[in-house]
Structures are given as C-alpha cells and as structure tokens.
Chain A
C-alpha cells in the first residue's frame, strides 16, 4: 500500500472510478443484527494503489419507535460480492444513527463518512449498507445511499 511519492508519475492505478448506489425502497426494520435488506444498496469498485478509500453512507429514516435507535453503516468485502473476504465489518460507531429520543420522529436525513485503509490495492471490492434497530418494529428506512471513492 504505497503512498504517492513526490515527483512520482501518477497514473490511473491511483485513481480508479468513484461509485455510488442509491435505493429508495421503504424498509421496516425489525432486525437487531446487521442486515443488508432487499434491495441491497451496494457498490463494486476497484481499490486504488494506496489501498485507501473513502466510504460515505447516507440515508433517511423515521424513528417511530420511542427510544429505539436505528443504526446504518457499511461492510467492505474483497471480491465481487458478499461471498468474498470480509475486510471491514459493520460498526455502529462508523455510520449514522437515529437520535434515540423518547418521542416518535418524522423522516429525517443523515450521513457519515469514514476512511477504510489497508485494502488490497488494484483489485475488485464490494461494499454495501447494513442496518439494524435496538428494538421495536417501527423504524422505517426510507432512503439509502453509499459512495466509495479512492483516497491518496
């Protein structure tokens, strides 16, 4: 995972394409463990030579179940799908969540960005949004978006 050195020729191996996927299906979330839902909000991408990427997750949701937060974060796999090697598992603190207020809430928008490093350079990877709730059955995820871009 080399850094770009001063004076070095910078080619496209450092800058593969950035990708985005967006899903608008309304999902009523009941799972208390991380699931991708259907349809899956997913992207395939090639890692840059640095092995570093930026991952943005964003979404809208309604927290209608008092005090139960919805967590929205991501997983990264090496390979073409979630059948590949899991390189970054879902972590609640590396995504966005509901506020846990003890009142029902209308739909609102959220986002978070993380860097993932030490990925294998220049090979295909796969990332997807996963989510879960603390409890209750009335957290509704209304919009999901994931963006992956190479980082120097």
Chain B
C-alpha cells in the first residue's frame, strides 16, 4: 500500500536496511538446483508500510574451464525464516550470471536489482542468496563463486 498523500511518515514506515556478505570461495559447483551454500548469506528484514523493498544481489562469478557452464547467483524470500512459506522463488532473471563464454575466465564482480512487492507491512521476512550452475558438462562442474552479497532496502 502507498503512503497516503499528506500523512506523516513514521519510523516504522521505513524500517532499517539490511545487508549481508561473504567471500568464501565456492569452486566447481555441482548442482543445477538452487542451494544457499555454506555459509548462508541472508538477512532478516521487516516489510515497510508500502510492502515494497529493493533487493540487490552481487557476486564474483566465473567459469574455470572451456565449457559452456555458467554460475547463476540469485535470491529467495521467505516469510519469517528459511522454513517459512516462500514468497519469492529463485529466478534466473532476478540474479547475476557469469559471462557465458566457453573459455576459462577470471572472477568478475557484478550486481543486479529487483523490487519485491506485495509484502505484508510490518511482517518479518528472510531473504537469502542462492546459486546453481547452468549445467554440468565436465564433472564435477566448472562454475565458481568468489563472493556473494545481498542488501534489502525498504522502498516507499
């Protein structure tokens, strides 16, 4: 819901921004299904009055061999915690992806943005980074991650 014109804005309308990051290197990603990895990079946040937040995702990604594999890093949002109902599923289109050229690459560091809408104002949610590889062409996989970060910013 939008803040009605002319009303005063209170602190609870714009709760704190939350951020988490980790630079544990994850080599040779083996799964084509999304996993949070170790350690898990995630934040608990309170939905603002608008029910809208901006989620930013960043990662260092590469493919370490001359294969067509790609590292895909995106996010999920749950009510309350990772055991709660998923309100935003992991989507390729909401994340970052390594270069997608079939040559060995250095890590490159990229980010992207997605608005999440229709959250219940004042409710607690949990957002976390998840990743997968696009395919396994050379076992155990040649897609790598050097770092991951997530930021959830309340919007109006």
Q: Is the CB of A12 within 8 A of B6?
A: yes
Q: Does A25 contact B (CB under 8 A)?
A: no
Bound state CA distance, A107 and B68, in angstroms?
11
Q: Is the CB of A60 within 8 A of B97?
A: yes
User: What number of B residues sit within 8 Å (CB to CB) of A?
Assistant: 40
Bound state CA distance, A108 and B133, in angstroms?
12
Q: Is the CB of B99 within 8 A of A10?
A: no
Which residues of B are found within 8 Å of A24, using beta-carbon distances? 93
Q: Is the CB of B2 within 8 A of A56?
A: no
Q: Does B50 contact A (CB under 8 A)?
A: yes
Give A109-128 interface residues, CB cut-off 8 Å to B.
109-111, 113
Q: Is the CB of A10 within 8 A of B8?
A: yes
User: A10-37 CB contact bits vs B (8 Å, 1 = yes)?
Assistant: 1111111110100010000000000000
Measured as residues with beta carbon below 8 angstroms from the partner, the interface class of chain A is 20 to 34
Q: Is the CB of A17 within 8 A of B50?
A: yes
Q: Does A147 contact B (CB under 8 A)?
A: yes
Which residues of A are found within 8 Å of B93, using beta-carbon distances? 24, 60, 109, 143, 145
Which residues of B are found within 8 Å of A101, using beta-carbon distances? 99, 101, 103
The listed residue (A12, A109, A110) touching B3 by CB distance below 8 A is A12
Q: Is the CB of A15 within 8 A of B99?
A: no
Bound state CA distance, A20 and B54, in angstroms?
10
A150 CB to nearest B CB, Å: 6
Which residues of A are found within 8 Å of B102, using beta-carbon distances? 103
Q: Is the CB of B96 within 8 A of A110?
A: yes
Q: Is the CB of B101 within 8 A of A105?
A: yes
Given A99-B99, A105-B101, A20 and B117 contact (CB-CB distance below 8 Å): yes
The listed residue (B70, B103, B114, B156) touching A145 by CB distance below 8 A is B114
Q: Is the CB of A103 within 8 A of B54?
A: no
The listed residue (B14, B111, B117) touching A111 by CB distance below 8 A is B111
Q: Is the CB of B70 within 8 A of A108?
A: yes
Which residues of B are found within 8 Å of A56, using beta-carbon distances? 54, 113
Q: Does A41 contact B (CB under 8 A)?
A: no
Which residues of A are found within 8 Å of B70, using beta-carbon distances? 106, 108
Bound state CA distance, A150 and B102, in angstroms?
41
Who on chain A is nearest to B108 by CB?
A99
Beyond the given pairs A109-B95, A110-B96, 14 more chain A to chain B contacts, judged by CB atoms under 8 angstroms and listed by A's residue number, are A10-B8, A15-B9, A16-B156, A17-B50, A60-B93, A62-B100, A63-B100, A104-B101, A105-B99, A107-B100, A109-B92, A109-B97, A113-B56, A147-B114
In the assembled complex, 18 residue pairs joining A and B whose CB atoms fall closer than 8 Å, in A order, are A11-B6, A12-B9, A13-B5, A16-B156, A18-B52, A18-B115, A20-B114, A24-B93, A58-B113, A63-B100, A106-B68, A106-B100, A109-B97, A110-B96, A111-B56, A113-B56, A147-B113, A149-B54
